[in-house]
Amino acid sequence: MTLDGVKRSDLATLAFTFFALGVTVSAAMVERGVSSGVTLAGAVFILSATSQLAHLAVTDAGGSEIVGVLSGSLVATRFGLMAMSLSTRYEGSTLERAAAAVVSFDPNVALAMQEKTPEAVRRTFWWAIGSMLFGWILGTGVGLSLGDVMGDGGAWGLDAVFPAALLAIIGGLLRRRDGMLAALVGAGLCLALLPIAPGGVPILASALGAIVAALWSRQ
Partner 1 sequence: MSWAVVFFLTLGVAGQRLLGMFVAGPVLAKRPALRSVADLLPAAVVAAVILQLTVTTKGALTVDARLIGLAVAGVLVWRRAPLILVVLAAAAVTGLFRLLT
Determine how many CB atoms are found less than 10 A away from the CB of residue 79: 20
Q: Could you say which residues in the range 29-58 bind partner 1, by CB under 8 A?
A: 29, 32, 34, 38-39, 41-42, 45-48, 50-57
Is residue 211 involved in binding partner 1 (CB under 8 A)?
yes
Cβ-proximal residues to 199 (8 Å cutoff; 6+ apart), any chain:
58, 59, 61, 62, 63, 64, 67
List 2's β-bridge partners, or say none: 7
Is residue 169 involved in binding partner 1 (CB under 8 A)?
yes
Which phi and psi angles does 3 have, rounded to 5°? -125, 105
Q: Which of 2, 9, 64, 77 binds partner 1 (CB under 8 A)?
A: 77
Give the separation between CA 113 and CA 128, rounded to whole angstroms.
Answer: 12
Q: Tell me whether residue 39 or residue 131 sits nearer to partner 1 (CB atom).
A: 39
Is residue 166 involved in binding partner 1 (CB under 8 A)?
yes
Q: Tell me whether residue 4 or residue 45 sits nearer to partner 1 (CB atom).
A: 45
Please report how close the Cβ of residue 43 comes to partner 1 at its closest, in angstroms. 10
| Per-residue CA distances from 145 to 22, 38, 103, 187, 212 (Å) | 12, 14, 26, 34, 43
Q: Tell me whether residue 121 or residue 203 sits nearer to partner 1 (CB atom).
A: 203
Q: Tell me whether residue 13 or residue 145 sits nearer to partner 1 (CB atom).
A: 13
Q: Which of 11, 22, 71, 127 binds partner 1 (CB under 8 A)?
A: 71
Q: Could you say which residues in the range 88-127 bind partner 1, by CB under 8 A?
A: 88, 97-98, 100-102, 104
Is residue 133 involved in binding partner 1 (CB under 8 A)?
no
Give the separation between CA 107 and CA 6, rounded to whole angstroms.
Answer: 13
Please report how close the Cβ of residue 54 comes to partner 1 at its closest, in angstroms. 5
